[in-house]
Amino acid sequence: MRVILRVGMYVFLSIAAFLSIFPLFWTAVSATNSTPDILAASMLPGTHLIANFERLLELSDLGRAFWNSTRNAVILTAVSVTICSLAGYAFEVFHSKAKDRLMGILLLSMMIPFAAVMIPLFRLATSLNLNDTTLGFMLPTLSTAFLIMLFRQSTRSFPHEMIEAARIDGLNELSIFFRIYVPTMKSTYAAAITITFMAAWNVFLWPRLIMMSPEAVTMPMLISNLMAGYVTEFGVVMLAVLIATLPTIIIFLFLQRYFAEGLLGTIK
């Protein structure tokens, strides 16, 4: 019976792994094929990779879009993680019932769909002349309730005796935060960086509204533009999707060692 259960478990995990990897495999294979081959559901690598890349460069400004997405995602990740970690640290270290109520309000804000606040945010950004700017791109997600909650929950497992000892040694709160808290909470930071970078890289609706000039196009917008014509060249689109996917894969693979620990709020 134990052998049967183990075999069944491995079969189930193999199927789940295949279903998870297959979309990426199909995208990579399709990037090397022509449109007729893709429509014929070809699962074998083709010979059109260079032709698709040349056509992609011809139809779009790939370098600018990649740079815009990279710049926006990196800056937003750095700023958002810093703000949210400071907030999560303060919520737990300087704990009070009033802060608990405020945290509850922040968590309730997660229930509000972005479409409900999109127009007010757009009007605010326009009134502040933030169109086509990185600051305008960052405006809705400079801080998020989820990241604040993540850091707050992780801070609960942080040894507060270290904070008290550092205060006795004469360190101020900012020094304690950057010199003691940040190095200790690297797992939580890895999870927060991964989540924030992926969200910032893949976001489409808000940049579509706030980034009005062709020079401000991002990778999701570029892919959308490639599919907006009368004739869609699927090999070119799949190659663009593959290129747009690579940075998030690299970030996740680089930080995966700490990702699960960070979500669980553990400290090593």
Would residue 5 count as lying in a domain?
A: no
**DSSP type of residue 139:** G
Does residue 131 fall inside a structural domain? yes
**Predicted local confidence at residue 73, as pLDDT:** 92
Which CATH number do you get for residue 180? 1.10.3720.10
Number of H helices, E strands in the chain: 15, 0
* pLDDT for position 268: 46
Contact 248, 197 (CB under 8 A): yes
Angle at 259 between CA 253 and CA 265, to 5 degrees: 175
| pTM for the model | 0.85
Q: Mean pLDDT across the chain, nearest whole number?
A: 85
DSSP 186-220: HHHHHHHHHHHHHHHHH--HHHHHH--SGGG--HH
- Per-residue confidence (pLDDT) for residue 266, from 0 to 100: 47
Take residue 243 and report the two structure tokens written for it: 């290129």
Of 198, 196, 248, 185, the C-alpha closest to 81 is 196
Does residue 31 belong to any structural domain of this protein?
Answer: yes
pLDDT at 262: 63
Summarised one tens digit per residue, pLDDT across range 210-254 is 888 888 889 999 998 888 767 788 888 999 999 999 998 888 888
- Any domain includes 17: no
* 1 domain-assigned: no
pLDDT value of residue 174: 85
Cα 75 to the chain's mean position, in Å?
A: 12
Does residue 171 lie within any of the structural domains?
yes
Q: What are phi and psi of 2, to 5 degrees?
A: -65, -40
Can you give the residue range of the structural domain that contains 222?
23-267
Note the pLDDT of residue 267. 47
Whether 4 is covered by a domain: the verdict is no
Do 222 and 60 contact (CB within 8 A), yes or no? yes
Number of domains in the chain: 1
Determine, yes or no, domain membership for 18.
no
